[in-house]
Amino acid sequence: MSKKTKNKKVILVLGATGDIGSCIADLLEECGMVVCRHGRTGEYSADVKDENQTKKLVNQVINRFGKIDGVINVLSAPAKIGSFESKNWDDFLEQFNVQLKAVVAVTKLVVPYMKKQKKGRIINILTSYTIGLPPSGLSDYVTSKYAVLGLTKSLARELGKYNITVNAVSPGFIKNRFTKNVPEKLGELLISQTPLGRLTTADDVAKVVEFLCSDEADFITGENINLSGGQVMD
């Protein structure tokens, strides 16, 4: 590790090639952090559903920088709208494998290093559906997000004594490539139901994540931060 990066926070962003992940990575870099951008391609490429590739990814970060200060999980499997009766267990497993199994695997690998450092940040990006009324047709997707929320709270309880904070950010509906086929009228309806008069953006998410990575958030853990402009209220 060079002298330039020695005093900088090293953050691994899982799913950094997506709209939200890339926005988070960009902002963290602008704020002086070293960001390792995970994706299917690129320098930190890995299929995190594969145990060997996951180990290789984490070792790659550790071998290069000697530490890992934070992990931001922006992983998400494509959501398929359909009634509960139309879905099968494989649909649920696909969501669990990406949004839960992968997070468990990566977190388990990085926690020992964070313990040695006596500090760390783990942040999971969820959805406002974990707070408000979930939509119809996304039972597998929503269930997996709730599972990651449960993991977030459990880890916050267990890892707090090591000065490792674990939090979640739950954004509202965001216009991006994954939601491009959603009818325009739905976006208009959500805006009309939002007190702040607009939809959530990837930049909104990035700003909250940057705060949670900062020293100002040292005493925040086990939280699920609702980021929907008031469209969903806890």
Beta-strand runs (E) in the chain:
10-14, 34-39, 44-45, 70-73, 120-125, 164-171, 224-227
User: Is 113 designated active site?
Assistant: no
Phi-psi region of 172 (alpha: psi -120 to 50; beta: other; left: phi over 0): beta
Q: Is residue 231 part of a domain?
A: no
pLDDT of residue 3: 56
Which residue has better confidence, 91 or 6?
91
Q: Is residue 133 part of a domain?
A: yes
Query: How far apart are alpha carbons 118 and 121 in whole angstroms?
Result: 11
Q: Is residue 234 part of a domain?
A: no
What is the CA 190 to chain-centroid distance, rounded? 23
- Among the listed residues 113, 141, 146, 162, the single catalytic one is 141
Three-state DSSP at 164 gives strand
Query: CATH number of the domain that 81 lies in?
Result: 3.40.50.720
Q: Is residue 214 part of a domain?
A: yes
pLDDT of residue 90: 93
What percentage of the chain carries pLDDT values higher than 90? 65
Q: Is residue 44 part of a domain?
A: yes
The two structure tokens encoding residue 103: 């997070």
Which residue has better confidence, 61 or 132?
61
pLDDT band at 4 (very low <50, low <70, confident <90, very high): low
Using one digit for the tens of pLDDT, what is the confidence trace for 153-196?
Answer: 999 999 999 999 999 999 987 766 555 545 566 666 777 777 88
Using one digit for the tens of pLDDT, what is the confidence trace for 41-76?
Answer: 899 999 988 999 999 999 999 999 999 999 999 998
Q: Is residue 233 part of a domain?
A: no
Q: Is residue 20 part of a domain?
A: yes
The range of the structural domain enclosing residue 72 comes to 3-225
Q: Which of 20-34, 96-110, 129-143, 184-198 has the lowest mean pLDDT?
A: 184-198
Whether residue 74 contacts residue 17, with contact meaning beta carbons closer than 8 Å, is answered with no
Q: Is residue 232 part of a domain?
A: no
Mean confidence (pLDDT) of the chain: 89
Average pLDDT estimate for 209-231: 93
Average pLDDT estimate for 94-122: 94
pLDDT band at 135 (very low <50, low <70, confident <90, very high): confident
Predicted TM-score of the model (pTM): 0.91
Average pLDDT estimate for 109-113: 97
Average pLDDT estimate for 118-129: 95
Q: Which of 16-20, 77-81, 148-152 has the lowest mean pLDDT?
A: 77-81
Domain count of the fold of the chain:
1
DSSP labels, 175-225: -STTSTTS-HHHHHHHHHT-TTSS-B-HHHHHHHHHHHHSGGGTT--S-EE
